[in-house]
Structure 1
Amino acid sequence: MPTALAAITGLLGLAVGSFLNVAVSRVPAGRSVVRPRSACPGCGTPIAARDNIPVVSWLLLGRRCRTCRVPIPARYPLLEALTGLLFFAEALRFGRSETLPAALVFTAGLLALAACDAERFLLPLRLVYPTLALTAACLLGAAAATGQWHRLGVTAACAVGGFAVFFTLHWIRPAWLGFGDVRLAGLLGTGLGWLGPWYLVLALLAGSLVGLLVGVGLMAAGRATRRTRLPFGVFLAAGAIAALLVGGPVVRWYESLSDPYATGAPLSTVHDRR
């Protein structure tokens, strides 16, 4: 059953990834994600259903539009495949738990935001706020189903805490962080706070470390300077997804160090499938 659930969820992820591509292409330009139907940006020909199968159609078409032969960016199949893979992994991670819907919504939103930041150095409000609202709604449903209302308080505290820390950094030196990253930190607190505050800490530390290493590596290779902009939202999203998927062992290890005589399961393990 866990494998079957993961397979079905992975297929759902492929379809969600196709929608995320539409959002990444249209939302930064202020366009609707519903209408008109998808069309080739080169010739304007509407994309037929047979040419809109995630990943497969891109390969069968030889990476080009069927009509005008304009190349189709690799971002389309990559985002679809990555969404499917992460959905599959999260279904294995959480199983049939009340946490899974929130994790999937949270991950999908982060992927869309990361793609926008990578392409345009932009974290659109029209993606941040819907992801925040849908994730919070899923967590509210999880609290209602499990009776763990106190975890919503932890979630809210993490959201406010993440926002406050990044807002302070932005206020001290705006060149360090854009305000979009401040909002994103609040979203990370919402998505990870249900599991426990240390998941948020881990995500922020991991994302910041990866961003630092990438920046230093680019400068060492002569491809960037200290003034070069980097899409920090990409690194924060990667840190959050990593914390969601593999943060459990790290958090439990740290909690065992801080309380080696604890016998009960930490908050972060309740109702989560390992």
Structure 2
Amino acid sequence: MLRTGRFVSIMAVAGLLFLYIPILLMMVLSFNASRLVSVWGGFSLKWYGELFANDQLLGAAWLSVKVAAVSATLTVVLGTLAGYVLTRFGPFRGRAMMAGMVTAPLVMPEVITGLSLLLLFVAMEDFIGWPQGRSPTTIIIAHATFCMAYVTIIVQSRLAQMDGVLEEAAQDLGARPWRAFVDVTLPMLAPALVSGWLLAFTLSFDDLVIASFVSGPGSSTLPMVIFSKVRLGVSPDVNALATLLIGFVGACVFIYSWRVGRRARQRDA
């Protein structure tokens, strides 16, 4: 038993080192004075200055943030409605087909999803004249289509754990179904909605394959710009940008953990 526990601990530490050592090396190399990634030229902050002077990287990062925020919001709305219908409406004609179509992006390769959406946008432009070319709008629609499956599953799981007695009590007291949904169901779904929004934002911000199919000139996201730089050689300002993103995410996680711990201490007191 002791040997088994020691083996599990060693494997866990080895796995964590395998995951985080490359990230730590990238963060250290963002302060490298040399342009060569493999040669340490001393400590320097010049690449952070180069980053804030690089309009291409900053523009792509800002575009990725806007696309991810809008697509995540749209995804939460559509995913909540789909999850509510599949969970609360009971058996109805076409339910199995709807469930399969909603969850299909989970198992479908991103290449197939991106290509099919590109063909759809081209056909729509030929028939109705919209969307005109590839733009951030097409990326938002594509990401919302891709991420809706994840939010739907999260909402379904949360609704399955919730007791419908409160909703029925609200309707017995005179509330219409829509008012009961807004005043009773949505507040109880809030943690699942926040989790779904964050997951959809992350998936959209990180996507490369689908965005490559449905984007056009002037609408390159941050993963697309970084991927194009990888083929020609990554400059250290990319390491600086990645370090800033990691620092921002780490700060958000720390603040959230601190607030949760503080609330737990206040509750115990």
TM-score surpassing 0.5?
no
| TM-score normalized with structure 2 length | 0.25
Q: Give the number of the structure whose alpha-carbon radius of gyration is greater.
A: 2
